[in-house]
Homo-oligomer: A and B are copies of this chain.
């Protein structure tokens, strides 16, 4: 079928390519003229026959909001917009209402697959009305991996990004689990073959998984991870997961611990631990480390403590 795509970065570009390989007619627009088939959003809309379908694949937040607003101005009743970016599900709900007021449909689609998606397909999680989703199925069929998995219509508008957000929250905790296990093995002086151990776990264990495979790829290149600093960014969805949990009164201790571990990994010094150190010094006379840096963080030879 015919599809407009706005945003031809790494993700959008690869998805356009996979769709074209699958026989669809794709008209792409991007800020970068080199990548773009048309010169403007208006031109993209003109190039498509109604009822149109336009896939938005730009960064979440203002870029997506602006694009959806612009599409609301140039599309017609009966058209449909798909947000395939990483939008917050709350934004989806607002976008859906704004477009519905003009008779334009809205579908949100969480996409997983990263750099592997062009070849293997993208896992798609979709939210929206049954009618709109059904109409877009040819697109989803081409983008998804072959086989029975990799596509779901999860619920109402916002549900696609909601479950993608949860997917990423689960991912945070799984990554943290491997990180914690790795660190504990490395800390033991009886375990001398940590990379080999992780290698062996790829079959026959309960924890076999794609993340474990990736961990082994990383260790194959750098067995001690010497080249990598223990510094982890977060792309927003982990935060939204925790906030959604708080909103829904759902306890989420492992996922939240994983998010906080990333926050802490980015601190040069912890204000909270300054307070703890200051308090220990106040009540117990425990030595504090000078902020100038302590080279030999040895055991605390404290007196019988309070």
Q: A206 and B283: CB pair below 8 A?
A: yes
Contact of A211 among B157, B169, B209 (CB under 8 A): B209
CB distance from A269 to the nearest CB of B (A): 4
Question: Does A178 contact B250, Cβ atoms closer than 8 Å?
Answer: no
A192 with B230: in contact, given A112-B204, A113-B306, A180-B173 (CB under 8 Å)?
no
> How far does the Cβ of A68 sit from chain B's closest Cβ, in whole Å?
15
- State the oligomeric state as a number of copies: 4
Q: A196-B154, A204-B149, A291-B227 are in contact. Are A184 and B279 (CB under 8 A)?
A: no
Q: Which stretch in A19-27, A43-51, A73-81, A115-123 binds the other chain? A: A115-123
Residues of B within 8 A of A242 (CB): 242, 246
Q: Are A225 and B159 in contact, CB atoms less than 8 angstroms apart?
A: no
Asked if A135 is at the interface (CB within 8 A of a chain B CB), the reply is no
Supposing A207-B211, A218-B282 touch, asked if A157 and B254 sit within 8 A by C-beta, the answer is: no
For the complex of A and B, list the 8 residue pairs with the smallest distance between their C-beta atoms, beginning with the closest.
A209-B209, A179-B272, A233-B300, A123-B204, A230-B273, A114-B306, A173-B177, A152-B200
Within 8 A of B (CB), among A247-294: 247-267, 269-286, 288-294
Q: Which chain A residues (147-196) contact chain B, with CB distance < 8 Å?
A: 147, 149-159, 162-163, 166-188, 190-194, 196
Are A263 and B291 in touch, CB under 8 angstroms? no
Residue A57 at the B interface, CB < 8 A?
yes
The 8 Å CB contact of A272, one of B182, B241, B294, is: B182
CB-defined contacts of A31 to chain B, threshold 8 Å: none
Instruction: Determine whether the beta carbon of A260 is less than 8 Å from that of B271.
Output: no
Please give me the residue from chain B that is nearest to A231 by CB atom: B289
Indicate if A125 sits at the interface (CB-CB under 8 A).
yes
Closest B residue to A285 using CB positions: B115
Which single residue of chain B is at the shortest CB-CB distance from A208? Answer: B210
